[in-house]
Amino acid sequence: MTQNAPGLHGAEASALHTDSAFSWLMAFAGFVCVMCTYGAVTGSLPLIYGQVIDEFGWSRTSAVSIVALKNLFSAITSIFLVGFAINRFGLKAVMITAGVITALGMASFSWIGSLYSYYFAGALIGIGVMPVMITCQVLVSRWFTRNQGLAVAIVASGVSAGGIIFPFVSSYLIEQIGWRLAFVFISAGIWAIALPLFVFLVKDKPDGAKFARQESQRKAQEAEKARLDAADLDESFSDVLKTPGFWIVISGLFFVSAADSAVLQHTYLFLERELNLSAGAAAMGLSSIFGLGIFAKLLAGKFYDLFSIRGVSVWYLLIAISIFLALQINGAGWLAAFAIARGVAHGGFVIVAPVVAKHCYGPRLINNVMPVYMGAFAVGNALGPTIMSAIYDSAGSYNLGFGLSATVCVLSAASLLLVRPKYWDRVRAGEHGQLSKESSS
């Protein structure tokens, strides 16, 4: 049972465990912005592959490789630019710039006429879309302590919301005005909704907003700040780079994201062209996976808040199970089981990086650690679908690719058990009055 901080009782003690109303407003803003950017791209891009294959006669590998290029540029931007840019220019400036670049990348689909211009559009989207996700997750990680996993889940649910809405929107727009102009219309959500929220609502840090507080609340928040400061780690980013746990997390994020993204990006083609479903039914299947992802993110967020790294390891196993179910589909029941399992597994996975970054290294290092973790995530996203395409083109089926994907998830789950969530452990020790100078060394 959690003990109250010394000298705090009743409302004062409860304030230690309460995130402010403005914090939840930041989570909502992050949700909407991610939905209009990352969610729009994720929900629409798989519907383009069949269109360009039919129009240009490209191979499946060539068509799907746009997501590899998109995620490769996301990885480069995340690892080498985002952390520096946030520290140098501030969170809000990076958010706005990334939103504009994403919108321009989506609008550039209007003049695609070759493989080079197709890949250029993907690269431009990649440069913008991952920094939007990172900055929104850093935003809520700054504003939340007790409910960080849940808040990150709410923000990441924007991907699922986009995945519900945009397959249907894109399918309709493609039928009415073609796939090029469809992406131009979809980018309107960034210009009309996301960017105004970035500009007028988002506050970089809790200190950027003034709250009317009772004296007891102020004292409680000061005590909470002192407790969290005591839990922070006395390490530099260069120290972190030397720890095995840092690289174990990176390898897991890379391999699991490669497996998860490979299956996700091929789901529409798998349903439509391997299982012979109609285009509308395939779009509904993809949309249902994203729809379940909203529930899954909220569930996973609380699960990670409770179990930290061990909870993430469990989720890696869920991803393996969901992929394995694809190999069993031979009727409506197995198809439904696959869609449900994929929705839950994929939805919970995409919020892993910010949670692990803070749980292992604390808020002081999150600006440096999380972009690297998200970069590993993006590299996996980049290579997974392309490798799956190459395997399919060689073998003529998805069986081998799906089997390999499930296997690497199981191995990654096992390796993650070697990682200790040091900051998360110290926060909980402080809640129980067990954190001392000795335990901080």
Give the pLDDT confidence score for residue 347 in this predicted structure: 85
Give the pLDDT confidence score for residue 231 in this predicted structure: 63
Give one DSSP letter per residue of 359-420, joined into a string. HHH-GGGHHHHHHHHHHHHHHHHHHHHHHHHHHHHHHSSSHHHHHHHHHHHHHHHHHHTT--
Give this prediction's pTM. 0.73
Domains of the chain: 21-206+232-431 (1.20.1250.20)
Give the pLDDT confidence score for residue 3 in this predicted structure: 39
The alpha carbon torsion through 341, 343, 347, 348 (nearest 10 deg) reads -20
Cβ burial of 368 (10 Å; 0-12, 13-18, 19+) is buried
* The two structure tokens encoding residue 335: 């198809």
Give the pLDDT confidence score for residue 309 in this predicted structure: 95
The rounded distance, in Å, linking the Cα atoms of 194 and 412 is 35
Give the pLDDT confidence score for residue 218 in this predicted structure: 53
Give the pLDDT confidence score for residue 219 in this predicted structure: 53
The rounded distance, in Å, linking the Cα atoms of 45 and 126 is 12
Residue 328: CB atoms within 10 A of its CB come to 12
Give the pLDDT confidence score for residue 6 in this predicted structure: 39
Query: Which of these, 102, 108, 94, lies nearest to 125 by C-alpha position?
Result: 102
Query: Which of these, 104, 154, 110, lies nearest to 127 by C-alpha position?
Result: 104
* The two structure tokens encoding residue 357: 């970054």
Give the pLDDT confidence score for residue 222 in this predicted structure: 57
CB 136 within 8 Å of CB 351: no
Give the pLDDT confidence score for residue 388 in this predicted structure: 93
Give the pLDDT confidence score for residue 221 in this predicted structure: 58
CB 45 within 8 Å of CB 67: yes
The rounded distance, in Å, linking the Cα atoms of 345 and 282 is 19
Task: Give the side-chain half-sphere CA count within 13 A for 335.
Answer: 18
Residues of the chain with pLDDT under 50: 1-18, 208-215, 436-441
For the chain, helix, strand, coil in percent to 5 are 85, 0, 15
Give the pLDDT confidence score for residue 99 in this predicted structure: 96
The rounded distance, in Å, linking the Cα atoms of 376 and 76 is 9
- Please state the separation of Cα 248 from the chain's center in Å: 19
